[in-house]
C-alpha cells in the first residue's frame, strides 16, 4: 500500500496526465459530542473551503456502519461503501489522495479502507489541509461517477479473537493515549485498560509538532524498539478503529505491514467477559 504525499507533490500531480481523485474527510473525535453536544460538522467546513476538485466523504456514514456491538466505527457495508466511493469519483485506474483537517486520523481511515478493499494507489496528504498552500474552493461541486468496486482483502483485518491471539504471538499496538491504555481515564468507552499483552504506542508520537509524520527511519526505530522486529506479525487497535488506521499508516511509512482491529477497544470493552489489563505493562 502506498502511504503519504506532500502538498507540493499533490499540486504537481493535479496538473498531470492522470490527476488524483481528492477526498476531503474532515472529522474529529469530540468528547463533547460523545456527551450529547453537537458534533463537528465536516460538511460545513468543506463547503467553506476545500482543495480544488475535492469531494467530501463522511466518515461516520460512509466509512463506517452505525455504532453497536461491533464498536463505534465498525466496517461499512461493502455495497454502500462502494456506492459512496463511486459517487465521490473514485475509480480503480486513477490515484486517490485523502486529507482531513490535519490530525490525519480520518484520512488514514479512508486510506486503509480503500487499500484493504483493493484500490492500488491511495495516499494521505501529509499534514492535511493546513499543509496546502494553494487556493481553496468553496461550495459543493458535483463529482463525475467513478467505477471503483471494493474487493476486501483476505488479510490485514483483525477481529477480537485475532487481536487477542496476536497480542500473544506477535505484537499488538494500542494507539490510544497512555492514560486510557493504563486504565487511569476512559472518557468514552465502558471501562479503561487494554487488551492483555498489547503494547502502548500512542499514535500522536508518530508525528512532529506540525502534524507531519516523522521520517521513515525514525518511525522504524520507534516501532522496532516497541517490539516490531523484522518478521514479527503486527496489529493495531485504538478506541474505534480510526486513530489505529493512522498508526497502520505510520507503520507503512516505516515499511512495516500491520493489520487493523477495526472494532478496537469500543468492541472489546463492550463485552464484560473479555479480559482487561490495567497499568503500564502489557500484561
Cβ-based burial of 38 (10 A; exposed 0-12, middle 13-18, buried ≥19): exposed
Active-site entry in 25, 63, 238, 253: 238
Q: Which parts of the chain fold into alpha helices (H)?
A: 7-13, 31-34, 42-48, 59-62, 78-87, 105-116, 160-169, 178-182, 216-225, 243-253, 264-268
SS (H, E, C) 237-248: ECCCCCHHHHHH
DSSP 50: B
Asked if residue 12 lies in contact with residue 85, where contact means CB atoms within 8 angstroms, the answer is no
SS (H, E, C) 156-216: CEECHHHHHHHHHHCEEEECCCHHHHHCCCCCCCCCCCECCCCEECCHHHHECCCCCECCH
Q: For this structure, is 57 an active site residue?
A: no
Strand ranges of the sheet holding 199-200, from the earlier edge strand across to the other edge: 157-158, 259-261, 234-237, 171-174, 199-200
Query: Which residues are known catalytic residues?
Result: 238
Amino acid at each position: 500500500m502506498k502511504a503519504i504525499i506532500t502538498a507540493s507533490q499533490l499540486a504537481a500531480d493535479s496538473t498531470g496526465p492522470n490527476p488524483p481523485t481528492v477526498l476531503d474527510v474532515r472529522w474529529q473525535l469530540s468528547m463533547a459530542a460523545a456527551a450529547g453536544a453537537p458534533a463537528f460538522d465536516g460538511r460545513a467546513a468543506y463547503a467553506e473551503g476545500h482543495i480544488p476538485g475535492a469531494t467530501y466523504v463522511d466518515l461516520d456514514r460512509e466509512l463506517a456502519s452505525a455504532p453497536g456491538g461491533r464498536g463505534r466505527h465498525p466496517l461499512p457495508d461493502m455495497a454502500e461503501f462502494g456506492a459512496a466511493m463511486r459517487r465521490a469519483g473514485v475509480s480503480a485506474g486513477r490515484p486517490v489522495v485523502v486529507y482531513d483537517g490535519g490530525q490525519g486520523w480520518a484520512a488514514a481511515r479512508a486510506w486503509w479502507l480503500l487499500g484493504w478493499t483493493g484500490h492500488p494507489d491511495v495516499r494521505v496528504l501529509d499534514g492535511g489541509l493546513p499543509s496546502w498552500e494553494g487556493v481553496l474552493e468553496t461550495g459543493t461541486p458535483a463529482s463525475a461517477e467513478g467505477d471503483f468496486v471494493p474487493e476486501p482483502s483476505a488479510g490485514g483485518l483483525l477481529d477480537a479473537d485475532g487481536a487477542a491471539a496476536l497480542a500473544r504471538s506477535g505484537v499488538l499496538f494500542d494507539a490510544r493515549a497512555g492514560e486510557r491504555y493504563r486504565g487511569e481515564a476512559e472518557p468514552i468507552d465502558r471501562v479503561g485498560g487494554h487488551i492483555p499483552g498489547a503494547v502502548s504506542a500512542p499514535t500522536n508520537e508518530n508525528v512532529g509538532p506540525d502534524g507531519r509524520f516523522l521520517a521513515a527511519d525514525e518511525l522504524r526505530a520507534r516501532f522496532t524498539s516497541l517490539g516490531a522486529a523484522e518478521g514479527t506479525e503486527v496489529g493495531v487497535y485504538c478506541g474505534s478503529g480510526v486513530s489505529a488506521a493512522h498508526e497502520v499508516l505510520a507503520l507503512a511509512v516505516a515499511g512495516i505491514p500491520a493489520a487493523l482491529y477495526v472494532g478496537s477497544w469500543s468492541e472489546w470493552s463492550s463485552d464484560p467477559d473479555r479480559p482487561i489489563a490495567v497499568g503500564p505493562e502489557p500484561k
